[in-house]
Amino acid sequence: MEKEKWGRKIRAFRKLKGYTQESFAKALGVSISLLGEIERGSRVPSEEFIEKVVTLLKIEKDDLLS
């Protein structure tokens, strides 16, 4: 369940900031399939991935946890 929450939050902030899945994956330096797996909750994001996400989206890590 926890991994699904990460994915939903990442997807919501990505869309809010105007990124498509393709453009966001490219900016993060990951494949679209990896990003999709994380957003769907099939994969738990690594700490490094989360750090890249919060830096790129200019949000705090706590924003993804709330």
Supply the CATH number for residue 9's domain: 1.10.260.40
| Assessment of whether the complete model's pTM goes beyond 0.85 | yes
Per-residue pLDDT tens digits for 28-60: 999 999 999 999 999 999 999 999 999 999 999
Distance separating alpha carbons of residues 19 and 17, to the nearest angstrom: 6
Distance separating alpha carbons of residues 55 and 38, to the nearest angstrom: 17
Asked if 52 contacts 28 with a C-beta cutoff of 8 angstroms, the reply is yes
Helix, strand, coil fractions of the chain, as percent rounded to 5: 75, 0, 25
Q: Token match 């919060």: residue?
A: 54
Structural domain containing residue 42 = 2-65
Alpha helices in the chain (DSSP H): 2-16, 21-28, 32-40, 47-57, 61-65
Structural domain count, the chain: 1
Per-residue pLDDT tens digits for 11-23: 999 999 999 999 9
